[in-house]
């Protein structure tokens, strides 16, 4: 079916291809063979886990650029290439790094790994003079909820200590009720502390959730820390072992048990701490370049083709790390070789000249997501096309693999009208809407991948996953598989090509993603942020800046 000819012949909007998707036949456009070929290469041991700035990461980037070239996407980089080169600085803390806290005449030394872990490890991270500490509750300033832990608290030049999480609420209008907000994310707390003038921060993990494991945290922090080379410096941001967190409150008038009691009562106090901190860091460092891979399909409608739908997936993973059961390659097959394979299939279908695309589509395969969403951060500071003309972002991080599904979950749906486009695509495929399973609702999933970066830049964004209503397995079986993946596979060498993959489920997910992208590309309307969204003002500012 030549869709362009169909539209031109009838010259009506009703013939646009987003309605073509409603006959639920678009799934036949996708190739199991091509999807699996991409996955098999990107997830292979030969790519050594695709860490940025490594041999395997560079091989992955070349492969992806060649795939974009095969599809004849419009290149945007220098010399008409698909590479958006990004300079990085890599660093790892060494065991001779020294953290000390002095309480009156008592000096306590803390050991890397055993006692604390570092979020930031650039060479400028050091505190040579004794620096005061303050306890700031959850470390949150959220004007939309009339909440401010920093009210009447002087943190200028000091180290802020705060708890993991956010105020408990059952009211959906206050910190989203039972659903965590962006303010629960450590990186958000760290930025808030910095904005209030703090020198750094110490996060106390939530030991009460039952899901926190210090040994697992050590493994997660074992990899190189990356920053954009343009980052002038980094603040001192660490996580302390909750088993020794009580030391921070020495001679303060409160114990850690007092803090947890106040937390349960939703009555956290903020106060100065008695200790003063010094830190002398020692690091292994390197500088390198790793690219985002960018290609564009130009829109066919002269009225709309200077507006863009941004489709993203990250191709990096952790590389080579601590061995688990004799395997040290962190292949990242489902995080996120599968998502990249899905993006390539979606790009292949949209690049078919027989398809009519009202808007333009930007495909960006991002680097350094695993190291702080750095590829997406670089993109928003160096956009290929204007951000204020980028109407939406659909980020792909993971693909259904267990079984065909009867429902979907839209992560971030509460923030914008983008969910309406999602619902249209889902209805055409007889899929119902579901919520994030309560078993996985203890963290704000929206902040954990690149959609968060684009949202902060003002672009309505979603991450779309399958629900737990499966065709051939029960919800309980599906949840069990998810828990097993989260506990035993995620960010471990076990995320490799030996994992079972239901290709029918994977391509169903690909088709659903295609459907919502098709809705966005061919709609006359654009998604907008809801009035209560914390990202709305970024959109307003980006549009005003271009007037």
| Cβ(418)–Cβ(395) below 8 Å | no
pTM (two decimals): 0.85
Structural class in CATH, domain 95-281:
alpha beta
The confidence score (pLDDT) of residue 235 equals: 82
CB-based contacts of 39-47 (< 8 A; 24+ apart in sequence): 39/333, 39/337, 39/338, 39/341, 39/497, 39/501, 40/497, 42/315, 42/333, 42/337, 42/340, 42/341, 43/331, 43/332, 43/333, 43/337, 43/496, 43/497, 44/331, 44/497, 45/329, 45/331, 45/496, 47/331
Taking Cα atoms as reference points, which of 305, 455, 463 lies closest to residue 398?
463
Contacts of 121 (CB under 8 A, 6+ apart): 91, 92, 93, 225, 234, 281, 283
The confidence score (pLDDT) of residue 541 equals: 84
The confidence score (pLDDT) of residue 441 equals: 63
| Cβ(217)–Cβ(239) below 8 Å | yes
- Report the alpha-carbon distance of residue 64 to residue 365 in Å, rounded: 8
The confidence score (pLDDT) of residue 14 equals: 31
Boundaries of every domain in the chain: 3-90+286-545, 95-281
Low-confidence ranges of the chain (pLDDT < 70): 1-25, 77-79, 122-124, 208-211, 232-233, 441-443, 544-547
The confidence score (pLDDT) of residue 211 equals: 66
- Convert the pLDDT of each residue in 445-461 to its tens digit: 888 999 999 999 999 99
Which one of 1.20.1250.20, 3.40.630.10, 3.40.50.150, 3.40.50.970 gives the CATH number of domain 3-90+286-545? 3.40.630.10
DSSP state of 435: P
DSSP state of 381: H
The confidence score (pLDDT) of residue 1 equals: 29
- Convert the pLDDT of each residue in 244-261 to its tens digit: 999 999 999 999 999 999
- Report the alpha-carbon distance of residue 270 to residue 249 in Å, rounded: 12
- Report the alpha-carbon distance of residue 357 to residue 52 in Å, rounded: 33
- Report the alpha-carbon distance of residue 261 to residue 333 in Å, rounded: 42
């Amino acid at each position: 079916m030549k869709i362009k000819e169909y539209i031109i012949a009838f010259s009506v909007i009703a013939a646009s291809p987003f309605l073509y998707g409603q006959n639920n036949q678009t799934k036949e456009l996708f190739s199991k063979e091509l999807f699996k070929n991409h996955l098999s290469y990107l997830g292979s041991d030969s790519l050594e886990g695709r860490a940025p700035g490594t041999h395997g990461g560079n091989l992955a980037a070349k492969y992806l650029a060649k795939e974009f070239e095969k599809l004849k996407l419009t290149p945007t980089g220098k010399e008409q290439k698909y590479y958006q080169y990004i300079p990085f600085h890599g660093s790892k803390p060494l065991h001779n790094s020294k953290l000390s806290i002095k309480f009156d005449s008592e000096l306590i030394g803390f050991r890397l790994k055993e006692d604390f872990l570092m979020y930031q490890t650039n060479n400028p991270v050091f505190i040579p003079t004794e620096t005061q500490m303050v306890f700031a509750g959850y470390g949150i300033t959220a004007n939309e909820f009339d909440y401010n832990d920093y009210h009447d608290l002087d943190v200028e030049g000091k180290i802020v200590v705060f708890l993991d999480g956010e105020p408990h609420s059952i009211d959906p209008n206050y910190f989203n009720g039972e659903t965590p907000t962006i303010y629960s994310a450590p990186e958000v707390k760290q930025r808030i502390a910095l904005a209030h003038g703090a020198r750094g921060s110490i996060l106390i993990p939530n030991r009460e959730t039952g899901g926190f494991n210090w040994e697992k945290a050590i493994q997660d922090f074992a990899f190189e820390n990356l920053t954009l080379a343009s980052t002038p410096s980094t603040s001192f941001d660490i996580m302390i072992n909750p088993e020794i967190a009580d030391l921070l409150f020495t001679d303060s008038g409160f114990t850690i048990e007092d803090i947890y009691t106040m937390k349960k009562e939703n009555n956290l106090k903020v106060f100065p701490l008695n200790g003063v901190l010094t830190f002398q860091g020692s690091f292994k460092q390197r500088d390198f370049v790793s690219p985002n891979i960018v290609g564009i399909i130009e829109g066919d409608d002269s009225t709309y083709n200077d507006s863009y739908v941004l489709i993203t997936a990250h191709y990096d993973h952790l590389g080579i790390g601590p061995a688990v059961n004799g395997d040290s390659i962190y292949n990242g097959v489902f995080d996120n070789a599968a998502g990249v394979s899905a993006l390539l299939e979606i790009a292949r279908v949209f690049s078919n000249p027989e398809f009519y695309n009202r808007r333009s589509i930007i495909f960006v395969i991002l680097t350094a997501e695993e190291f702080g969403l750095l590829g997406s951060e670089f993109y928003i500071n160096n956009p290929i096309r204007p951000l204020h003309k980028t109407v939406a972002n659909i980020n792909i991080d993971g693909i259904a693999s267990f079984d065909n599904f009867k429902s979907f979950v839209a992560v971030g749906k509460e923030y914008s009208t983008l969910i309406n486009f999602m619902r249209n695509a889902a209805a055409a495929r007889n899929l119902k809407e579901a919520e994030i399973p309560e078993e996985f609702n203890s963290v704000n999933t929206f902040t954990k991948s690149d959609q968060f970066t684009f949202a902060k830049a003002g672009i309505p964004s979603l991450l779309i996953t399958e629900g737990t209503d499966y065709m051939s397995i029960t919800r309980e079986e599906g949840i069990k598989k998810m828990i097993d993946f989260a506990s035993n596979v995620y960010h471990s060498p076990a995320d490799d090509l030996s994992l079972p993959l239901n290709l029918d489920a994977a391509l169903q997910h690909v088709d659903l993603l295609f459907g919502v992208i098709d809705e966005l590309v061919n709609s006359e309307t654009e998604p907008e942020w809801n009035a209560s969204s914390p990202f709305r003002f970024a959109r307003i500012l980006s549009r005003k800046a271009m007037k």
